Homo-oligomer: A and B are copies of this chain.
């Protein structure tokens, strides 16, 4: 392996998580340990910041603020959803990216994101090889959805799972308190095709009858009559019913519940943006069963709860960031750093590397056998898988009664190219 000297650039992409900044902190603090890496830059808003040569100098930040990134939610460098074109159709963005890399002698590129981001790295690496640019690019997984292939679980998932479970636990008690007047709670949870987030509500249960009483995820087709039966039975038995439903839950014909009432739009990747599964079920329960319902739609509030994040998740996110740098230094490129579970009790995960193609093109759904036959709950296998991921609490400095999150100075790196697009 030849030693590669140069500057390092990192970026964040896709929807933020509670711990994606912890990964960035891991990259920065590890990069500072290696003499091969001179400047340490961050791209503002991911690949868009590369295209626009909008870079900040992370060596100019206070060490304390960098350290605070370990317990700061959202994406401190700014995130973006931007799909690189097929290079055979249009190479202009690739040409520009490598002009920027060359202008700033970027030799190490670390990109934290989901499957679309791994696709971005994959394309950049292929282009680098094509044009003979010496680059080490490593992907760092993140996504609250937990739907990445090639990894045991995604950093970001443990914290959102812990938050959803804590909310379910509290609202479950609240519902039991007031069930004589308000017997049904519907909690709509994010998740397009994968129900991992919604399923994590199950971690709140200790006893029979505890919330959630019913769980509907995209992996199990939903049926109107069965649903109404399920709610009627739960309410009859316990006096209440807590329903957790993914926004992406579909009926047996494959149609989203969300589109039967609610928003319908597509994002830059052509993914359907969902919204109305909760209100749709609410209407059904009110209209068909005459029960009073309360609706919870946390939306983006699900994924930002550093005030009750998982220490396991945070430490893994940080560790993967540091491991990405070590991998790059050791000659690795065009890979994603990954986690492989060795044992469940005690919980142990090993740092490994995954192929970008697998991550970019596959989607990890809840295995059907981790859902019950009726398709309205998870099994113990899911609970055994998810439980260790929510262990531990992140110590967060508090100021004026609220978490004190990192505040970057964002010192811009001097631009050397003409503005883009021309």
Contacts and interface: CB of A to CB of B under 8 A. Distances in A.
Interface of A: 12, 15-16, 45, 48, 72-76, 78-81, 162, 165-167, 169-171, 173-178, 180-181, 185, 187, 203-204, 206, 265, 267-268, 275, 292, 294-301, 303-308, 310, 387, 390-393, 398, 400-403, 405, 407
Contacts of A75: 174, 177-178
A298 B299 CA distance: 9
A299 B294 contact: yes
18 contacts: A72-B173, A73-B173, A74-B170, A78-B180, A79-B178, A80-B181, A166-B307, A170-B305, A170-B306, A185-B300, A203-B400, A294-B300, A295-B299, A296-B297, A296-B301, A310-B401, A390-B401, A393-B398
A180 B43 CA distance: 14
Given A45-B180, A75-B178, A295-B299, A203 B402 contact: yes
A271 B406 CA distance: 43
Given A180-B80, A295-B299, A297-B296, A167 B304 contact: yes
A102 B123 CA distance: 81
Contacts of A265: 292
Nearest to A268: B181
A73 B174 contact: yes
A390 B178 CA distance: 26
A402 B178 contact: no
A282 B169 CA distance: 29
A162 B307 CA distance: 11
Nearest to A81: B181
A298 B187 CA distance: 9
Give the most central of A162, A187, A206, A407: most B CB within 10 Å.
A206
A296 to B, nearest CB: 5
Nearest to A15: B178
A187 B401 CA distance: 21
Nearest to A292: B265
A25 to B, nearest CB: 15
Given A16-B174, A295-B297, 7 more contacts: A162-B401, A167-B305, A171-B300, A173-B405, A185-B300, A296-B299, A393-B398
A73 B181 contact: no
B296 A166 contact: no
Give the most central of A74, A166, A303, A402: most B CB within 10 Å.
A402
A402 B166 CA distance: 6
A112 to B, nearest CB: 12
Nearest to A187: B301
4 closest residue pairs by CB, A with B: A170-B304, A74-B173, A390-B401, A75-B177
A45 B79 CA distance: 48
Contacts of A297: 295-297, 299
Contacts of A171: 300-301, 304
Nearest to A48: B180
Contacts of A267: 181
A278 to B, nearest CB: 9
Contacts of A165: 401-402
Give the most central of A187, A294, A307, A310: most B CB within 10 Å.
A307
A181 B47 CA distance: 14
A296 B265 CA distance: 18
Contacts of A301: 167, 170-171, 187, 296, 298
Contact of A166 (B181, B387, B403, B407): B403
A161 B79 CA distance: 29
Contacts of A398: 393
B304 A73 contact: no
Contact of A402 (B169, B175, B303): B169
